[in-house]
Every structure is written in structure tokens, then in C-alpha cells.
Amino acid sequence: MKTLEQHLVNYALYHRDKRNIATHFVGVPLIVFAVVWMTFWPLGSVFQTQLSLSGGLILLTSMYYLYLSPTLGSWMIAFLLICQGAVTLAFDAVAHAGLDVVWFYVMGLGLFVIGWVIQFIGHYYEGKKPAFADDLMGLLIGPLFVMMELLNKVGCFKTLEQSVNNQAGPYRP
């Protein structure tokens, strides 16, 4: 199994254009949020806690992220839980407004499409296809890459950032 650094280097090879990376700061979180939204299928409740398909997927994804990096994984879990909370509130708002639940999922699909349009604009600048086109793990690693890039901006994971950049090559303006 690849290490976090190996995954990030592979992903970074597809992301050397700063305009592409900038679009990822919007597109990737929007896609993640939309996936949580579209997989929010209530499955009942236990101890007054609502269970959903998205919650199960978050649990599985979180275990993998923690395996790769407890620190970076914890940041991802925080983001995923914020997404889950926001989606739960949105679902409840749609239900309380008396709207057909189909509209809830249509809104999620809309967010998903917008996120991917933003992504493909970035990859137009990059001149390369998205990483997941060659390795489906890119769909799981992309959010970690964006989280690392964001945390790099505030001084975190500098050693990892330097190692990834040394292996992936310089950024393009």
C-alpha cells in the first residue's frame, strides 16, 4: 500500500499549474460536499443520532485518511463532519418546508456539476487530464492534497510539502 507521500506526489504530478490548484480550492471541497449531500440517505436513528449512507462513507473514508496520516486525517474528518452537519441541516430544512425530497438531491447534483466544471477549468489551464483518469485513488487523494495545500499556506506540513514538490517538480505560474 502506498504511503501518504507517494499518493501526494502522484497527485501533484497532475497539479503543477497554480491556476489549476486555485480552482481546486473551490472545486474539490464543493465536490466532496456534494457527494456527502447526494449520499445522505437516512437509514434510521440510534440513540437519537441520525444514521445515513453518507455517515457510513465518512466513517470508512476517515479510517483510510487516519491510516495515511493521523494529523492530516483529523483535519479531513473535521471537514467531512462539517459537511455532514450542514447536509443534515439542509435535509431537515427541505423536509420541514414540505418540499419533495427529490429537490434535495437535485440541489446536491447541481453542486456536484458546478464543482466538476470548476475542476475541468483548472485542468484546462494545467493541460492535463485529472489524476483520477489514470488512478481512481485520485478521487480519495484529491481532498487530502487540497487540505495539505491549504495547511501549507498557514505553515503546516512544510517538510512534506517540500518533499512532494521536490519529487513532482516546480510549480508553473
pTM: 0.93
Rounded to whole angstroms, the Cα distance separating 59 from 62 reads: 5
What is the per-residue pLDDT across 28-79, written as a single tens digit (0 to 9) for each?
999 999 999 999 998 888 888 878 999 999 999 999 999 999 999 999 999 9
- Backbone angles phi and psi of 54, in degrees to 5: -60, -35
Angle at 143 between CA 137 and CA 148, to 5 degrees: 115
Asked if residue 173 has pLDDT above 80, the reply is no
What are the boundaries of each domain within the chain?
Answer: 4-164
Q: What is the pLDDT of residue 135?
A: 77
